[in-house]
Each structure stands twice: as structure tokens, then as C-alpha cells.
Amino acid sequence: MMGDSLTLSAFQKHIRDRYYATDAARGSAKTFVWFIEEVGELATALNGEAASEENRANLREEFADVFAWLCTLANINDVDLESAVREKYLSEKPPSGTK
């Protein structure tokens, strides 16, 4: 797929190439509900016993799922996540204080 090197743009494109037709048909509102469900699963994993290897594997999976669904939302709303991150956090005037 992408070899050893992975960029935010490459992953977002991979998600677009693989899922865009279904995601766009579902729309932003319903996709956001799926995203929030994944965030809830991540919250549950974060609340688990972090020392357990099984929980660590689940935690990694849930982080990946949340990231994939965020890319999905960005894709169907025509937002380039890499550009958005660069503009907000890596520009000459990054935000001060909290996000």
C-alpha cells in the first residue's frame, strides 16, 4: 500500500480511494455519528487496564479507527488535513495556549 513511509496526506488519500463513494452517500451528519461512536470506543479503551497487552492492542486499534473516521469526515467535507494542520499548528503564528 504505502510502504514504510506514511504521511497524513497519503493516509487520507488511501481512505478516500477506498471508502469515498460510501462515505459521501452517507453524508456528514451520519458519518459524524459513526466518528463519535469510535471516539466512545477509544474512551472505553483509555479507561481500561493499560498494563494488559490485550488492552494495549485494542487501544492502538481504537486510535487508528478514530483517525480513519476523522479522515473520512475531512474527505467528504473537502478538507485537506495536512494543510489544515500546517496552517494552524506549524505556521509562523501557531496558536498559543490550549487548542
* Residue 41 counted as domain residue: yes
| C-alpha cell read off for 15 | 481512505
pTM of the model: 0.86
Q: Is 14 exposed, middle or buried (CB count within 10 Å of its CB: 0-12, 13-18, 19+)?
A: middle
Packed helices 8-26 and 28-46: angle between N→C axes, nearest 10 degrees: 120
Q: Quickly state the pLDDT bin for 2 (edges 50, 70, 90).
A: low
* Residue 66 counted as domain residue: yes
Query: For the chain, what is the mean pLDDT?
Result: 91
**Do the beta carbons of residue 77 and residue 32 sit within 8 Å?**
no
Q: Quickly state the pLDDT bin for 56 (edges 50, 70, 90).
A: confident
Is the predicted pLDDT of residue 80 greater than 80, yes or no?
yes
The count of domains in the chain is 1
Amino acid 61: pLDDT? 96
CATH number at residue 46: 1.10.287.1080
Range of the domain at 76: 24-80
Region 28-49 average pLDDT:
93
* Residue 11 counted as domain residue: no
* Residue 88 counted as domain residue: no
Centre a 10 Å sphere on the Cβ of residue 64 and count the other Cβ atoms it contains: 13
Residue 89: strand, helix, or coil: helix
**Do the beta carbons of residue 48 and residue 55 sit within 8 Å?**
yes
Region 27-44 average pLDDT:
97
C-alpha 93: how far from chain center = 25
Percent of the chain topping pLDDT 90:
72
